[in-house]
């Protein structure tokens, strides 16, 4: 008897937050925490999630979504102009690494080692 059977009709999320790497300001040089992920089941292009509130915290109800390509751009949520500019600069600086992680070409450890601080 298999006790680990999948739950029938369980919804599939585009991204599961436990599959995302949480990067704090000390790692990125940004004033807020960001989450990056592999593509997974997503039907959209590469993007990151950014906490709208500066600091080390990340709340799922306090997120902005920023696309990585073709150019970093705000997709959803709100960031003030100064913080959006910083996030866009950080993405541009790290686009190759972020895309490699999104595409599953590198693992989390390689992604973190490949990131440059702003």
- Residue 92 domain boundaries: 17-105
- What is the pTM for the complete model shown? 0.81
48 touches 15 (CB < 8 A): no
> Could you tell me if residue 84 is inside a domain?
yes
Give pLDDT tens digits for 31-44: 999 999 988 788 88
Distance of alpha carbon 45 from alpha carbon 101, whole angstroms: 13
Distance of alpha carbon 45 from alpha carbon 99, whole angstroms: 10
> Could you tell me if residue 12 is inside a domain?
no
Q: How many domains does the chain have?
A: 1
Supply the pLDDT for residue 98: 97
Distance, first Cα to last Cα, the chain: 53
Give pLDDT tens digits for 43-83: 889 999 999 999 988 778 889 999 999 999 999 999 999 99
């Amino acid at each position: 008897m298999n006790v680990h059977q999948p739950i029938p009709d369980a919804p599939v999320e585009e991204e599961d937050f436990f599959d995302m790497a949480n990067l704090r300001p000390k790692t990125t040089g940004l004033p807020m925490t960001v989450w990056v992920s592999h593509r997974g089941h997503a039907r959209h292009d590469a993007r990151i999630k950014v906490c709208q509130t500066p600091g080390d915290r990340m709340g799922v109800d306090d997120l902005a979504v920023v696309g990585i390509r073709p150019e970093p751009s705000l997709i959803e949520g709100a960031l003030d102009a100064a913080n959006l500019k910083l996030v866009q600069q950080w993405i541009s600086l790290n686009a190759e690494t972020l895309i490699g992680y999104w595409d599953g070409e590198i693992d989390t450890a390689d992604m973190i080692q490949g990131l440059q601080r702003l």
